[in-house]
Chain A
Amino acid sequence: MAWEYSEKTKKIFMDAVHGKPGTHLGEVENPDGMGEHGSIACGDSLRFTFRVKRDPEDPTKDVITEAKYLTFGCTSAIAASEALCVLIEKGGYTPIQALKIRNQDIVDFLEGLPEQKIHCSVMGAEALEAAVFDWAHKRGVDLPKLGIDAHEGGETEGRLVCKCFNVTEPYLRRKIQELKLHTIADITNAIKAGGACMTCHHAPGGLQDILNDMWGAPKAAAQEAPASVTAAANAPSPYQFSKRVEKVIEEYVQPMLKRDGGGLEVVDIKDKLIYCRLQGACKGCAGARQTLKGMVERVLREKVDESIRVIEL
């Protein structure tokens, strides 16, 4: 997929990877706020830390003076992390004011992001939020009392809807509301949910059901074709037949092969077809195929069934 990034996004990324002065990669030591979002298994993750200038009287007047990030992710994930730090430091915000930074602010700062990369900006906003909650906890600030929904634990608790990206129903509902997500594609672009195996799209209680519940059912929901069936292996040949084949191989074939330091493994039996593999000294021997076709097949035809065929693996 070609890169459709803005010039600004590209420049921010290149400056960050080259560690240019003024960029924000790293970690604040003993941070006042630390927040993480994403995971390596999901393909991107961000650790965001900040330091505040503490107000001796009122912790809600603390001002963020330094912000840093460590990011595992693509070009836009790294650029979005850098953008987040710039926005925060430039603003001279208190942590509570910083909460007003939304993913759209990051997108605007980057002069746009491709649709499929919107989740990178959401990741930045999520990590910021988590870091502010961490700060509030450390500084004893009661966010709900200030009218801020701290929805702690909302991300990890509750029914798991998207198992690929570990997205729970409460988190989904909050994000659908906050980011005004109306379709499954909107959800996937913003928070990745439903972007991998897609089984949660139309499963009972899945993404479409949650969307219908929140916004009302669409007039005609598109029907997706059912997934193809993975066939089970063929039923084995009758038990007695297999047993007789094994017995003959044990009694007549193995002793002959053993004399030459080899052996025979029966891999499968289907009707009158015996699939085997030579082992030990016989393996890779030039006369091996001759041995199988000639000797093994002859003995089995003689002792078990005229129509047996041996297939070498």
Chain B
Amino acid sequence: MSAIYADNNATTPVAPEVVEAMVPFFRDQFFNPSSMYEPARRVAAALAQARESIAASFGPIDPKEILFTSCATESNNSAIQGVARAVPKRKHIITTAVEHPAVLEVCREMGRHGCRVTYLGVDKDGSLDMGEFVRSLQKDTLLVSVMHANNETGVVFPVEELSRIAKETDPSIVFHTDATQSVGKLPIDLAGAFKHVDLLSFSGHKLNAPKGVGALFIRRGTPIRPFMIGGHQECGRRAGTENVPYIAGFAAAVELAAESRDSEEPRLRALRDRLEKGIEAKVPHVQVNGRGAVRLPNTLNVSCHYVEGEGMLYQLSDAGICASSGSACTSGSLEPSHVLTAMKIPFTAVHGSVRFSLGRYNTDEDVDRILEVFPKVVANLRRLSPYWDQEKDRPRADAPAVK
């Protein structure tokens, strides 16, 4: 029995087409694209081709607006720190309480260096309050950084609306979005509905390219100072010899995702919905986190009351199923997921969350197998939970109530 990989929001397997596209640049086309001789110019042309191809997937934008980085974390750091350094007069940043740490921690760091940071909260479904967003806009607001889709719950924020409102309020406000989870899964037209977005981060390894390559869209005219200095590459905006093989693979992966999005989106949604309904039917006392909001088609975040996430993951792993959890014990700290905490998920459930995130290579059989294994995993842990009534198979009368 082969392993079932259901953790595609963490990373994805590299597509064979992507590997194909990379191989020539490890072999005879190894040249530095900045060199002058003919073979190197062919590598430079391949780099330009990759940039054009990625740009084309975001609507009619200038390929020069795409900057290659090493990962989405670098893109986020470059965006936030670069804007703060370019516009030192403005001191206010707006972000949300549920961002990925690559945004949240950078904003906190800005907060230690003279910026004021507003962290927008979310409701129980994980959605933002537009009124709260409007009230948080200030005269010296420098940057709004709001993620497109949440990595833990898949909840999608209305970045189109938020960026429009920010720009209509004050065109000098810079709008950044971390779109790491949504690129390749949702349509993003940077010349259309997303035309008010100035900066957009994403990475390759969430869409079947390898780890170690990312990009930052920088709309022309955006005030931003470079993060990596010491070379003319990327028009002086990001020094360092370009990672040509990975960029070629990245472009192939973006093309692959764009070509198949119309068929993959409904296919993943159907798989996810069947998994969701199946778990709800087979496991008592579960809740689907973020269900009341618009969500990514591939993500299911489910909490099982009165059990702890790590024990579930361990048993799933033992049965060959890879998933992840927002439980404190898996986070490396002692706190449960900041996303679920911000959603005020009841404390009886916040430690018992499991995230299944599906991808290109998941099948109907995978969902069947998860549905066969998962209910047993939960039952095993409830059998030894001090909060579970074994005879009646429900929470004990004296267990802390679900609020």
Please list the residues of chain A having a beta carbon within 8 angstroms of any beta carbon in chain B: 1, 3, 10, 13-14, 16-19, 25-26, 36, 39-41, 43-47, 69-78, 116-117, 164-165, 188, 192, 195-197, 225-231, 233-234, 267-268, 270, 273, 275, 277, 309, 311, 313
Contacts and interface: CB of A to CB of B under 8 A. Distances in A.
A313 B117 contact: no
Given A3-B317, A36-B386, A44-B329, 15 more contacts: A16-B384, A17-B311, A17-B381, A25-B384, A72-B307, A75-B329, A195-B335, A227-B111, A228-B107, A228-B116, A230-B119, A231-B92, A275-B134, A311-B168, A313-B130
20 contacts: A1-B330, A10-B314, A14-B315, A17-B381, A25-B383, A36-B386, A40-B306, A40-B348, A40-B351, A41-B400, A69-B384, A73-B311, A75-B310, A75-B311, A196-B333, A197-B335, A228-B116, A230-B118, A273-B169, A311-B168
Contacts of A270: 134, 137, 169
A41 B347 contact: yes
B348 A43 contact: no
Given A25-B383, A74-B311, A43 B112 contact: no
Given A78-B384, A311-B168, A313-B131, A188 B334 contact: yes
Nearest to B317: A3
A40 B352 CA distance: 10
B27 interface: no
Interface residues of B, number: 55
Contacts of A39: 400
B311 A234 contact: no
B138 interface: yes
Most A CB contacts (10 A, CB to CB) among B130, B311, B332 go to B311
A43 B111 contact: no
Contacts of B110: 228
B335 A19 contact: no
B135 A268 contact: yes
B327 interface: yes
Contacts of B336: 43
A110 to B, nearest CB: 15
Nearest to A313: B130
Nearest to B115: A228
B3 to A, nearest CB: 15
B135 A43 contact: no
Contacts of B81: none
Contacts of A10: 314
Contacts of B306: 40, 72
Contact of A192 (B169, B332, B334, B399): B334
A309 B171 CA distance: 13
Contacts of A47: 386
A73 B138 contact: no
B386 A45 contact: yes
Given A41-B347, A43-B327, A47-B386, A13 B169 contact: no
Nearest to A71: B384
Contacts of B107: 228
Nearest to B330: A1
Contacts of A275: 131, 134, 165
Given A43-B308, A231-B116, A231-B136, A70 B386 contact: yes
A10 B380 CA distance: 15
A313 B138 CA distance: 17
Given A70-B386, A116-B332, A188-B334, A313 B311 contact: no
A41 B118 CA distance: 27
B161 interface: yes
A155 B386 CA distance: 21
B328 interface: yes
Interface string B131-172: 100111111000000000000000000000100010011000
B127 to A, nearest CB: 13
B135 A233 contact: yes
B31 interface: no
A243 B51 CA distance: 53
B169 A311 contact: yes
Contacts of B41: none
9 nearest A-B pairs in the assembled complex, by CB-CB distance: A228-B111, A195-B334, A74-B329, A74-B310, A70-B386, A231-B116, A17-B380, A47-B386, A25-B384
A17 to B, nearest CB: 4
Contacts of A225: 112
A14 B111 contact: no
A191 to B, nearest CB: 10
Given A16-B384, A40-B400, A234 B138 contact: yes
B331 interface: yes
